[in-house]
Amino acid sequence: MNEEVINELEINEEENIEVGPTYEDLKKAANRSSDWRVRLNAVEELAQLDNKQVIDVLTRMATSDPVYQVQEAAYLKLKELGEDVPAPAKNKGELFKGLTKILVRIKKSLPADHTYEDFKEKLKKMRVDIYDTYEGDKGDDFDKWLEGVWASLSKK
C-alpha cells in the first residue's frame, strides 16, 4: 500500500472512535421536557461524570423533575456520589396546573364522535409535555388512567 492510502486509513479509524456524550449534551438531555426516558438516561450518564455541575443538575432533577421515576433515579445517584439530599416525595396531585381545562379544550377540538385513540393522539401532538410526563408517572397504568379521564370529560 502506498503512504497516502495508509494515512487515509489512519484518519478513517480515528473518525470512527466513539466519544461519550459531553456534559453540555447531558445537561440538555436532562432539561428535555418532552421525553422522560431521555431525562432518566441523562441521570445515569451524568452520574458517570465527576464534577460539581453534575451534582447541581442531579439535585435539580431530584427535587423538581415532574416524573417521580426520574426524581428517584437522580436521588439515588446523588446518594451514591455521597451527597446528603432528602428523598423525593411522590406527587399525588395534578402534575400540571389546569390539567382538566387543557384536556377539555383538546377534547372539544375533536369531532363529537371521536374515539379515545383520537383523543390520545391529539393530546400527544398538542401537548407532548403533558403526555410524556403522565406516561412516565403512571407507567403501565397510563392508558387506563387517560381513558378514564377522557370518559369523565364526556360528562362535563
Pick from 153, 150, 156: nearest CA to 115: 150
Q: By the 8 A CB rule, do 24 and 51 touch?
A: no
Position 8 in a domain: yes
Stretch 118-138: mean pLDDT: 90
Q: What integer pLDDT is reported at residue 95 of this predicted model?
A: 77
How many structural domains does the chain have?
2
Residues 105, 66 share a domain: no
Report pLDDT digits (tens) over 14-38: 444 344 568 788 888 888 777 888 8
Query: pLDDT, tens digit, for every residue of 66-110?
Result: 888 888 999 998 898 888 888 888 766 777 788 889 999 999 999
In a domain, residue 55? The reply is: yes
- Report the amino acid identity of residue 109: S
Percent of the chain with pLDDT over 70: 82
Within 13 Å of residue 66, how many CA atoms lie on the same side as its CB? 21
Taken as a whole, the chain contains a residue count of 156
Task: Determine the pLDDT at residue 154.
Answer: 62
